[in-house]
């Protein structure tokens, strides 16, 4: 991914790397740093999916990638432009946060995939 993306429709995502990748079966994992994404878990049919909705018009910029032991491909990093409280201070902190979250998810048991293809593109 090398160009800026402007979402044209709602993008369903998950705060859980296992859910987002259907237990790491997706071709590649993408971590998105969002300030405007909203958790809709409490409204969702499957709250355990930890769904985050990104709205049309959201701009996402590629900001690199991070290798994680256990994954064949690096995790691609996308971020909304701007600053917000509680975001990693810099790119090093962002990469470490993503690496730690994904590495932890790799140690967990597989999750139930309630809606195949909801968070991953068709293969």
Cβ 57 vs Cβ 4: under 8 Å:
no
Q: pTM of the entire structure?
A: 0.90
Which tokens sit at 56? 């049309």
β-bridge pairing 75-79 and 59-66: antiparallel
**pLDDT confidence of residue 86:** 79
**pLDDT confidence of residue 90:** 87
C-alpha to C-alpha distance for 29 and 101, rounded to whole angstroms: 12
**pLDDT confidence of residue 83:** 78
**pLDDT confidence of residue 122:** 62
pLDDT averaged over consecutive 10-residue blocks of the chain (123 residues)?
89 96 95 94 94 96 96 95 82 94 97 92 62
C-alpha to C-alpha distance for 108 and 22, rounded to whole angstroms: 13
The helix (run of H) or strand (run of E) holding residue 11 is strand 11-14
**pLDDT confidence of residue 117:** 92
* Terminal Cα-to-Cα distance of the chain (whole angstroms): 17
């Amino acid at each position: 991914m090398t160009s800026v993306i402007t979402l044209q429709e709602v993008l369903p995502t998950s705060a859980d790397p296992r859910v987002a990748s259907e237990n790491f079966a997706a071709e590649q994992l993408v971590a998105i740093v969002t300030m405007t994404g909203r958790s809709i878990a409490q409204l969702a049919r499957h709250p355990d999916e930890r769904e985050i909705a990104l709205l049309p018009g959201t701009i996402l910029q590629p900001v690199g990638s991070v290798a994680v032991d256990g994954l064949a491909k690096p995790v691609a990093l996308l971020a909304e432009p701007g600053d917000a409280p509680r975001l990693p201070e810099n790119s090093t902190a962002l990469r470490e946060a993503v690496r730690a979250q994904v590495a932890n998810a790799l140690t967990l048991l597989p999750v139930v995939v309630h809606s195949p293809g909801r968070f991953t593109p068709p293969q």
